[in-house]
Structure 1
Amino acid sequence: MSMKNSFMHGLLKRAIQTRAYTSLSERLHHDLTTRKIPLFFDYLHPQQSHLLNLSLQGILPRSLNQDVPSSLPSIRNPIPLPIGHHLVYFPPQVSLSQLLPDGTDILHTPGEPFNRRLWAGGNVHFPISGPALDGTRAVCVESIRNVTIKGREGEGKVIVTIERRFGTVPEGESEAQTRSRIWQEDEADLGDSSIIENRDLIFMRSKTAEEIELDQAQFDKPSRTVRAPTNATFRHSIIPTKALLFRFSALTFNAHSIHLDTNYTQGQEGLRSLLVHGPLTLTLLLSVLQTHLESLGLRVAHIEYKNLTPLYVDEELTVCGKPKSDGAWDIWIEGPSGGLSVRGSAKTCPI
């Protein structure tokens, strides 16, 4: 084959691959964004929040949990939902048959060959102060807002952006009425939502045996780190234990094996230990930040964050933050070696 013919053959092959890749991207985008996810109902009793407070007692800044009562708070004089505690309400209401082999559910998966799932980051908007924990019936309206594929053909990762809107709902309201009242086509339209959260989940191909062996060979070697910001206004260190990971998995109805099974995590994912949950990381970030803001008469109105490197069980993490010139805050989490693991920013408003 001449050089010219070889060059043209290569161009044709790449063009065919590009069309196939575009077709996959378009198909996944259509299939997932039109997927109707069931409504998640819950009652805003203080129990879940109370159990989370007990689980975090002693590891958060003292002003947040020094007065955690041993008995369940009253719903006659209800407290507002603490910042970040929405994450332990509205668990995925799926049966065991709707769980995949790694313990994750089928609600957001793009399907084969994208069988591995990790939490990449997201954002949360708090339009109002937290709703009262008075036993009111509430709902989470969830939808898949966007789907993108990144990476080379054959090695691509699928990023699924999930929107979750929370609001109270009266008994007897129809599903159609609930959806139209809380979910809005325009993402900027708050509707009747009290909290709006977006999550970015990354779905990847399973690792080959060779890839896992290479990962395992690196377990005892120092990993590359990203330099963290400097001049933090506050710093608070935490060591997430196996007990904490188990309790958070139980509170969120999360059976993902990367948080519970060391043999699975090392042998199937090629990660050196159990991973700290993405929503637990967000809970810690919000809780520590809010402690500092309360002394300034402020609360979190919006937060966005990105998970850069894994955080592991029994390894110290440090939540840090500092104000920006525009009144917002830079926030981040450093891993045990001081490298940047989570990077984010927050906007505030008066309490």
Structure 2
Amino acid sequence: MLPSLRSPAARLLRSSLVAWPSTFAAAHTASSPALSPASTGASISRGFKTSARLYQEPIVDTTDCSKLSDKDLNEGLQHETAESRAGKPFNVEYLRESMARRPHRATYDFLSPTHSHLLNIALWDALPREARAGNIPDSAVSEEASISQFFLPSASTSETHELPSGHHLVYFPLQRPISLLEPDGTDPNQSPNVPFVRRMWAGGALNFRKPQNMQLNGGRSVCVERLDTPNMVMRGGWGREKIFVDVVRRYGAIVADLDLNPSVTEPSKLLGLENKVWEDCDFEERRTLVFMRAKDDVPEEDASAPAKKPKTEERIIKSSKEPEYSFAFTPTPTLLFQFSALSYNAHAIHLDVNYCRNVEGHRDLLVHGPLILVLMLSAIRSRNTSSQIPPSRFIRTFEYRNIAPLYANEELRVCVRRNVLERAAEEPSAQWDVWVENNRGSICARGTAIAHA
């Protein structure tokens, strides 16, 4: 199972603007709770206690929210929201219980090579040849070369390809009509909702267990998603709270019999398939999202307090080591649009520059957190020099965090450096550090991969 956010390292990291998960723990899916049509988290102990030092006053409400009816819980949430607007601290336990009662979600998709192929085309100008996924012929483009190399491979070929690491991000899209999205175009199922309406992708982790099962052969696969509410955390004082929500997603390509037996689509049988994937998935992902109040919902500075010096420039974080490999490019609005289209991501911070500047307070469009993840995985994959290990199986685990925004129209650089060599019982593995710098050389994202040596 992916790491808990309660580790000492994670508690330290979450104190910054954007947090990331701690290191991978050993997988123990056999002990994971089975899914049910109701809440997947109802049977999990909720022993979280809010630290009073983070707030202006301690929370004295000792209500056991797990025993409340849905009606009473909703009324409690409305009361907490109203009280928070009046300057009182928000009792996160109401929010935790409300989110714990949300049912798990299963998203089915067909692993056609089309989306992976289109992602390769979108990244063709950004990635050097050795970092590409390889679904497009490696012949260099020249004036004499035909553009037919970018055409989707013939459907008549019997050759199949494994899903490249990171390319799952353009499959299993959010399946909701526009009317059921948040005003900024995001998924309401993952959001704490009012008053915490601003969302950022803070980091995450991946565990590639059986990537060879995820074949781009048109077969049906499923992603089962639940919210890890026991590890939900609130940080920051009143008016500047940050809610960290972990979304756990498990993927499996073991439902081919859906098309052969229509009766399998009965809800109870679908639930059995989804439980099977949850207990024995092909790979697992944890996404850490951070939610904040709207900009106009943040309290004004105390007029009686000493004036603070204006912030003139962003903090610069330099790497202490030189990379052994790197590549640079400038993300364009066109690339951000194409990635949004492929991942079915309608978040306005990637599409609407006026929204970025006037609502979120950013200077330009933001590069997607998932796109940054694809770039880091691509850089690590380029270090695979073995002819015996397929590129999709090179990376075993990966954890990462986003530290600061990256913007469109500003050059970024993706850097990789081998860290240490670890000797497992039977198979050696290597640890790789990867980071992404902005145009000032400051680290905006970093991650660590365990890969085959």
| TM-score tier after normalising by the smaller chain length | 0.7 to 0.9
Question: Structure 1 residue 67 and structure 2 residue 155: aligned?
Answer: no
Select 1:202's aligned residue among 290, 310, 335: 290
Amino acid at match of 1:152: G
Select 1:181's aligned residue among 271, 276, 279: 276
Q: TM-score, normalised by structure 2?
A: 0.67
Question: Structure 1 residue 25 and structure 2 residue 92: aligned?
Answer: yes
Equivalent runs, 1:232-251 vs 2, <5 Å: 232-251=323-342
The change in CA–CA distance for 1:300 and 1:17 in structure 2 (over 3 A counts) is same
- Which one is further off, 76-85 or 267-276? 76-85
Select 1:53's aligned residue among 102, 105, 120: 120
User: Do 2:379 and 2:416's aligned partners in 1 also have CA atoms closer than 8 Å?
Assistant: no
Give the whole-Å Cα distance in 2 for the aligned partners of 1:206 and 1:304: 29
User: Do 2:239 and 2:297's aligned partners in 1 also have CA atoms closer than 8 Å?
Assistant: no
User: Do 1:141 and 1:166's aligned partners in 2 also have CA atoms closer than 8 Å?
Assistant: yes
- Which one is further off, 328-337 or 63-72? 63-72
Shift of 1:62: 1.1
User: Do 2:402 and 2:444's aligned partners in 1 also have CA atoms closer than 8 Å?
Assistant: yes
Corresponding residue of 2:252: 167
Corresponding residue of 1:187: none
Amino acid at match of 1:245: L
The change in CA–CA distance for 1:232 and 1:17 in structure 2 (over 3 A counts) is farther
Deviations 1:61-90 (A, max 9, x none): 213256263222346211111111011000
User: Do 2:100 and 2:227's aligned partners in 1 also have CA atoms closer than 8 Å?
Assistant: yes
Gaps in structure 2 of 5+ consecutive residues: 1-55, 63-79, 81-87, 139-148, 259-263, 301-309, 423-429
Partner of 1:331, secondary structure, is strand
Corresponding residue of 1:10: none
Partner of 2:172, secondary structure, is coil
- Which one is further off, 297-306 or 117-126? 297-306
Equivalent runs, 1:253-264 vs 2, <5 Å: 253-264=344-355
Give the whole-Å Cα distance in 2 for the aligned partners of 1:17 and 1:156: 18
Amino acid at match of 2:221: A
Corresponding residue of 1:225: 316
Corresponding residue of 2:106: 39
Give the whole-Å Cα distance in 2 for the aligned partners of 1:313 and 1:295: 35
Give the whole-Å Cα distance in 2 for the aligned partners of 1:224 and 1:96: 37
Question: Structure 1 residue 315 and structure 2 residue 406: aligned?
Answer: no
Select 2:223's aligned residue among 140, 151, 163: 140
Corresponding residue of 2:366: 275
The change in CA–CA distance for 1:211 and 1:287 in structure 2 (over 3 A counts) is farther
Corresponding residue of 2:5: none
Corresponding residue of 2:381: 290
User: Do 1:17 and 1:153's aligned partners in 2 also have CA atoms closer than 8 Å?
Assistant: no
Amino acid at match of 2:451: T
Partner of 2:196, secondary structure, is coil
Give the whole-Å Cα distance in 1 for the aligned partners of 2:403 and 2:61: 29
Gaps in structure 1 of 5+ consecutive residues: 1-12, 185-190
User: Do 1:103 and 1:256's aligned partners in 2 also have CA atoms closer than 8 Å?
Assistant: yes
- Which one is further off, 160-169 or 295-304? 295-304
Partner of 2:383, secondary structure, is helix
Give the whole-Å Cα distance in 2 for the aligned partners of 1:82 and 1:160: 27
Question: How well do the aligned residues superpose, as a CA RMSD in angstroms?
Answer: 2.4
Amino acid at match of 1:138: S
Corresponding residue of 1:3: none
Shift of 1:49: 0.4
Equivalent runs, 1:110-125 vs 2, <5 Å: 110-125=192-207
Question: Structure 1 residue 324 and structure 2 residue 424: aligned?
Answer: no
Give the whole-Å Cα distance in 2 for the aligned partners of 1:144 and 1:207: 26
Select 1:100's aligned residue among 164, 182, 185: 182
Select 1:86's aligned residue among 168, 173, 182: 168
Partner of 1:208, secondary structure, is helix
- Which one is further off, 264-273 or 37-46? 37-46
The change in CA–CA distance for 1:297 and 1:22 in structure 2 (over 3 A counts) is farther
Amino acid at match of 1:67: P
Give the whole-Å Cα distance in 1 for the aligned partners of 2:224 and 2:167: 17
Deviations 1:320-346 (A, max 9, x none): 111122431111111110011011100
User: Do 1:109 and 1:203's aligned partners in 2 also have CA atoms closer than 8 Å?
Assistant: yes
Partner of 2:366, secondary structure, is coil
Give the whole-Å Cα distance in 2 for the aligned partners of 1:149 and 1:250: 32
Give the whole-Å Cα distance in 2 for the aligned partners of 1:336 and 1:211: 32
Partner of 2:57, secondary structure, is helix
Partner of 2:169, secondary structure, is helix
Partner of 1:31, secondary structure, is helix
Give the whole-Å Cα distance in 2 for the aligned partners of 1:211 and 1:315: 32
Partner of 2:188, secondary structure, is coil
Q: TM-score, normalised by structure 1?
A: 0.86
Partner of 2:215, secondary structure, is coil
User: Do 1:61 and 1:291's aligned partners in 2 also have CA atoms closer than 8 Å?
Assistant: no
Amino acid at match of 1:275: L
Amino acid at match of 2:137: D
